[in-house]
């Protein structure tokens, strides 16, 4: 009589009845085709000074299907020394770094935000 062994799964990994993972030495795993955030999206750091007036206003509306790019954009604005006025309105030092603007064009969100130069500096 040929009985099949019952295989249980925990978080996608086959386990035995005791919950221990079953490893098949003949099976090789391939690396995931998805890239991590670090390899996909670059980071930018600007040298910000404390007493420089904040004269650049950025408003953006990045759609939900580009959530990774939207979250990246927010993190980069923080790293560039911008402060949030509302969820999609930020104010900071002018001008934006040229390599940052070039990279925003390569990931396809250059039409999703608008910059304004303020007549008077913003004070927080």
In a domain, 86, yes or no: yes
**Count of domains observed in the chain:** 1
Alpha-carbon span 62 to 70, nearest angstrom: 6
State which residues form the domain around 57: 40-122
Alpha-carbon span 113 to 59, nearest angstrom: 6
| Strands of 1-124, DSSP E | 8-10, 13-15, 54-60, 83-86, 89-92, 113-122
Is this model's pTM higher than 0.75 or not? no
pLDDT digits (tens, 9 = 90+) for 60-116: 999 999 888 899 899 999 988 899 999 899 999 888 888 889 889 988 899 999 999
> Model confidence at 51, in pLDDT bands (50, 70, 90)?
confident
CATH number at residue 96: 3.30.70
In a domain, 74, yes or no: yes
Alpha-carbon span 22 to 25, nearest angstrom: 10
Which residue's structure tokens are 């959530």? 67
In a domain, 3, yes or no: no
Is pLDDT above 60 for 36? no
In a domain, 65, yes or no: yes
> Model confidence at 16, in pLDDT bands (50, 70, 90)?
confident
In a domain, 116, yes or no: yes
Q: When comparing pLDDT for 42 and 119, which is higher? A: 119
C-alpha 59, offset from chain centre: 18
In a domain, 102, yes or no: yes
72: which residues sit within 8 A by CB, 6+ positions away? 37, 41
Mean predicted confidence (pLDDT) in 32-56: 68
pLDDT value at position 116? 93
């Amino acid at each position: 009589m040929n009985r099949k062994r019952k295989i249980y799964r925990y978080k996608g990994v086959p386990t035995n009845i005791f919950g221990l993972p079953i490893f098949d030495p003949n099976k090789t795993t391939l690396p995931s085709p998805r890239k991590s955030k670090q390899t996909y999206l670059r980071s930018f750091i600007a040298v910000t000074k404390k007493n420089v007036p904040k004269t650049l206003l950025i408003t953006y509306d990045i759609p939900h299907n580009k959530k990774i790019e939207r979250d990246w954009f927010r993190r980069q604005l923080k790293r560039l020394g911008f402060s949030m006025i509302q969820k999609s309105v930020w104010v900071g030092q002018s001008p934006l770094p040229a390599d940052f603007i070039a990279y925003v064009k390569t990931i396809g969100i250059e039409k999703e935000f608008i910059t304004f130069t303020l007549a008077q500096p913003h004070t927080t």
